[in-house]
Amino acid sequence: MLQVEIDKNSGFCFGVVYAIEMAEEHLDEFGSLYCLGDIVHNDEEVTRLKDKGLQIISHQELKELKDATVLIRAHGEPPETYQIALQNNIQLVDASCPVVLKLQHRVREGYEGDTQIVIYGKEGHAEVNGLVGQTNGQAIVIMGINDLDKIDYSKPIRLYSQTTKSMDSFYKIKAKIESRSADFKANDTICRQVSNREPQLKIFAAEHQVIIFVSGKKSSNGKVLYEVCKNVNLNSYFISNVDEIDKQWFNDKKQVGVCGATSTPMWLMQEVKKYIETIA
């Protein structure tokens, strides 16, 4: 019989827990709530909250909305969002992660004169959009080493990171820029609750014969953490729900580990665990 263990360090980070708790409290009291973008990058959790009355809207729809209540998710928002809310008499339930708010403040403070603000992150990601908004859209977004030619090395450079990026990759980028710039300062703004999961996951992945990594396909953090597992254990599989599980993965295996991203709900990992136990 298969032994299935859920990684105790996986599941929502505190920022996501905070946002979902705020949404549920409002939904329990009022029955409905608008949310600007998916509250979390996990379709299963979004569906659960939609069933409770959460309505996902786009930034374009926000501009047309008036006299309503809207949740700002953990990723944070640019200043423009707050201006629109003020103009349209929209009450905001601000669930921006405190770590993200601190980062926004640091980016805003660093944006002065001819200093270039460089953000290591996923272009178009909600958190990154919020950071770029602190610089009136002037920040340079780099997704990896191949984007470093976007930077003007004759000007002062200040590097920041999306909170959920890989620490190893951040420090490789830092070293590359440092070697080409005379006026450079790097700000390690990666969330430690997120970055600490990498060494924890390496241990967890090594302790099991098969790893089932549960995450939404939109999750940047999920992609990073899945690669951590895959590099340690080749029998690592990325799934979003139980329908994607292949029984053949467990042939001749005894130990299975179930883990996930910072946007993966514990209830979903428990569902996956139960399903695997039924097919064993």
As annotated, the active-site residues are: 127
d(CA 143, CA 165): 10
Pairing type for strands 69-72 and 91-94 reads parallel
How would you write 74-100 as a 3-class SS string? CCCCCHHHHHHHHHCCCEEEECCCHHH
- 116 bridge partner residues: 157
Structure tokens of 126? 């909600």
What strand order describes the sheet that includes 184-186?
Answer: 140-142, 116-120, 157-161, 184-186
Residues with Cβ within 8 Å of 67's Cβ and at least 6 positions away in sequence, in order, are 88, 89, 90
